[in-house]
Structure 1
Amino acid sequence: MTNKRRIFHLITSLNIGGTERFLLTVLKNLKSKYDFSVGYLKERGYTADEIEKIGITVQKFDFLSLVRYLKSFKPEILHTHLYRANIIGRIAGRVAKLPAVISSQRSIDGWKNRFHSVIDGATSIYCDLVIANSAAAADILAKREKVPSNKIEIVYNGQEEFAPSKEALLPVLTVGYVGRLHKEKGVYLLPEIAKALSMKKPEFRFVIIGDGPELGNIRSKINSYGLKNNISFLGWQENRGKIYSEFDVLILPSEEESFPQALLESFAYGVPAVASDVGGVREILEDGKNGFLVKKGDVSGYAAGILAIAENNYCYRHFSANALAKASEYSVEKMIRSVDSIYERFLR
């Protein structure tokens, strides 16, 4: 019989993404202290298997089964993640009369219309705190969703592994992309950026890590531009440390971001970046210091930024060292301490 305090996590789906990685990291680092269980509403996904590997139960719920479970399990905290789980979890937590409900906002969610925002704001009265992972996300919660500012707290993403900064460019300029291949990530621009780059520097490599609905379109355009031999598609890779060491520059052409984990990861391996100036990107990427900020959708701007970073080894060492220094401000230990502090506050 355990005497650990019970915390239940509810998430929309357990696929591969920043929110899912955040949840898994919290569970791994705090499972010895708390009695965790996890529920999801839509898709089980890869992360569910990873959670079960560390001995934590994962179950699927609809609203009624969720309410029954909460009344039976009686968690002292319900922590919800992603839009649908936030809404359903808040209402279910209210019905089950739980002591504390915490939600997470880890994306900008530009797809939301006024109805979604009104529902988000209205149900926020049923939660005690909303954790944002950037100042940009916190600002949206306050302005768009009308969540009271005293209910919002920022906990930045954390990085676990770090490597020395890089001393020199690779023999062939290598640009990497890491993330979901979805439209909001701006991945439809990758072939255009590669084409623009090829006109200035014919010898280069583009490495794409990830999967998603835009994969076929990206492949087709790459082939039509005659760049097939320059581009490698490696699918999703869970252990990315060695892969980052084979990048010179990370490209992040997103339409929206809160606090991109791929950017933090690349910096932790001394890899500077060129990224869209959206959301919370500028909270970690300092223009002209550890990379370049580019107006969203500016293909020539992305290519110019890549070439500026790779101008020579002296410039590159400067960008790489600054990238690593910035990443060191965001450790997993710091993130976990912040989350644990929040839990302890509501368990007093």
Structure 2
Amino acid sequence: MRRDRLLVVIDGMEVGGSQRQVQQLLKGLDRQRWEPELAYFRSDSFLVDAIRRDGIPVHFVPKRRRVDLRFLFAFARLLRRRDYALIHAFSLTAELASVLARPLSGRQPLLVASERSFALDRPAWFWWLKRLVLGRSAAVIANSSAGATATARRTRMPDAMFATVANGVDVPTPIAAGERERMRRSIGVPAGRLFGLFVGRLVPVKNLPCLVRALAALAPAQRPWVALVGEGPAQSSTRQLAHDQDITDDLSFLGERNDATRLMQAADFLVLPSHFEGLSNAVLEAMAAGCPVIASAVGGSPELIDNGRTGMLFRSDDVNALASAMAHMADPALRFRLAHGARQHVEQHHTGAALGAATAAVYDRCLRASQSSSQLIAHPTRGSAK
């Protein structure tokens, strides 16, 4: 079997949804068919260590400023030296770097672009740059149909360019009841309280004010204790709002952690009140962990969650609906039913192997199309009348 060298590129490898999917993809690809490698430009994390442990070459090409010619030439040297068949870029900055470095490298690897965050508030210049990138790409892989449709419309690129490949996730081994209780005690969950969890960057798009106000809307006897896992610029404003709403004892900030899956297994539910999402890794990981999910019905979340069967959806920014959903989570039978349905759905549709196979199918299609095009150029009269 022919093996093609592949470079997955992302600007930063901090702990985030796209970075986790990079790890899942690299691990899930068939090594008999592909020689995968990773390149990133800033922000190391434990995810890079895990990728190295899987035997995948990792290239750190430091980028020191927004316009950095030294970085660009270093990236071009990497492309020239390793002679990749294909580049899969996971962010706009990685896409732009790939577009600019290819001609400098003297190589012509195919470029596969991405659509992952489904952000509706991007400025006009973003879509102009995205259209420029897509015009030089062989395909675009989106992690949700909603994201693919929105990006195709805003860039005015044909729908046929886009392939939807859902995120993949590991399904963890269930934890024992004693370990679950130990985890809860270790982070200070009050005895007898319903334990809710948020996992993600503390940024405006996650709409944490909706969560704070929903907690405040519940009577103290109904109110769950909620822990926020993650860091970001919205942390101080969220703390202030919690103080203003008099719920500081009901909300805990745990910071960035590398045991989010264990926390999900210990929690009674996960909540994601975002204004918009692509296909949320936090939601998918919670479903795999058997943690019931409450999420706003935005972006790719309705593609993951069958409301009432594999999780609960509420209308975006509807404080009362979120408060009601959290109150319903006090029912253990409901939590069990949602957790069972969610885990079963993940096992059938969202494994790392499924992610690798579906993504590789797009790569193969792009390479076949390129080879066919090259053959037509080399033999322009083939099939024509004599």
Do both proteins adopt the same fold according to a TM-score greater than 0.5, normalized to the shorter chain? yes
List alignment gaps of at least 5 residues for structure 1.
none
Aligned structure 1 segments of 4 or more residues deviating by more than 4 angstroms: 162-167
Residues 1:218 and 1:124: Cα distance change in structure 2 (over 3 Å): same
Answer with 31-40 or 235-244: which moved more. 31-40
Does 221-230 or 99-108 show the bigger shift?
221-230
| 1:293 partner SS | strand
Indicate the RMSD between aligned Cα atoms, in angstroms: 2.7
Matched, 1:254 2:263: no
Which of 199, 223, 227 is equivalent to 1:178? 199
Deviation at 1:231, TM superposition (A): 2.6
Query: Where does 1:79-90 land on structure 2 (aligned, <5 Å)?
Result: 79-90=88-99
TM-score (norm 1): 0.88
Pair 1:318–1:24, CA change in 2 (3 A): closer
| CA deviation after TM superposition for structure 1 residue 5, in Å | 2.7
Shift of residue 124, structure 1, vs aligned partner: 1.0
Measured against aligned partners, the alpha-carbon deviations of 1:167-217 in whole angstroms (never above 9, x if no partner) come to: 9xx942111111111111112333222212344615x31121111122222
- TM-superposed deviation, 1:42: 4.3
* Greater Rg by CA: 2
1:166·1:321 contact (CA, 8 Å) conserved in 2? no
5+ residue gaps, structure 2, are 63-70, 178-190, 369-386
Q: Which moved more, 1:315-324 or 1:106-115?
A: 315-324
Indicate the residue corresponding to 1:214 in structure 2: 234
- Secondary structure of the corresponding residue to residue 316 of structure 1: helix
Kindly indicate whether the alpha-carbon contact (under 8 Å) linking 2:209 and 2:241 is maintained by their aligned counterparts in 1: no
- TM-score relative to the length of structure 2: 0.80
Taking structure 1 as reference, are residues 106 and 270 closer, same or farther at Cα in structure 2, changes over 3 Å only?
same
Partner of 2:336: 317
Compute the displacement of 1:77 (Å).
0.8
The one-letter code matched in structure 1 to 2:343 is L
- 8 Å CA contact 1:91, 1:126 repeated in 2: no
- Distance, in Å, in 2 between the alignment partners of 1:320 and 1:78 is 37
Is 1:125 equivalent to 2:145 in the alignment? no
Conservation of the 8 A alpha-carbon contact between 2:111 and 2:138 = yes
Alpha-carbon distance in structure 1 between the residues aligned to 2:12 and 2:230: 18
Q: Deviations over 1:95-118 (max 9, x none)?
A: 544141111211113342122112
Change (3 A) 1:218 1:338: same
**Matched-pair identity in %:** 24
CA drift at 1:147: 2.5
- Write the distance in 2 (CA, Å) between the matches of 1:59 and 1:165: 36
Note if 1:109 corresponds to 2:119: yes
Q: How does 1:90-169 map to 2 (within 5 A)?
A: 90-93=99-102, 96-162=106-172
CA distance in 2 between counterparts of 1:125 and 1:94 reads 15
Cα pair distance change 1:135/1:197, threshold 3 Å: same
SS at match of 1:110: coil
The secondary structure found in structure 1 opposite 2:35 is: strand
Count of residues paired in the alignment? 342
Q: Distance in 2 between matches of 1:109 and 1:89?
A: 22
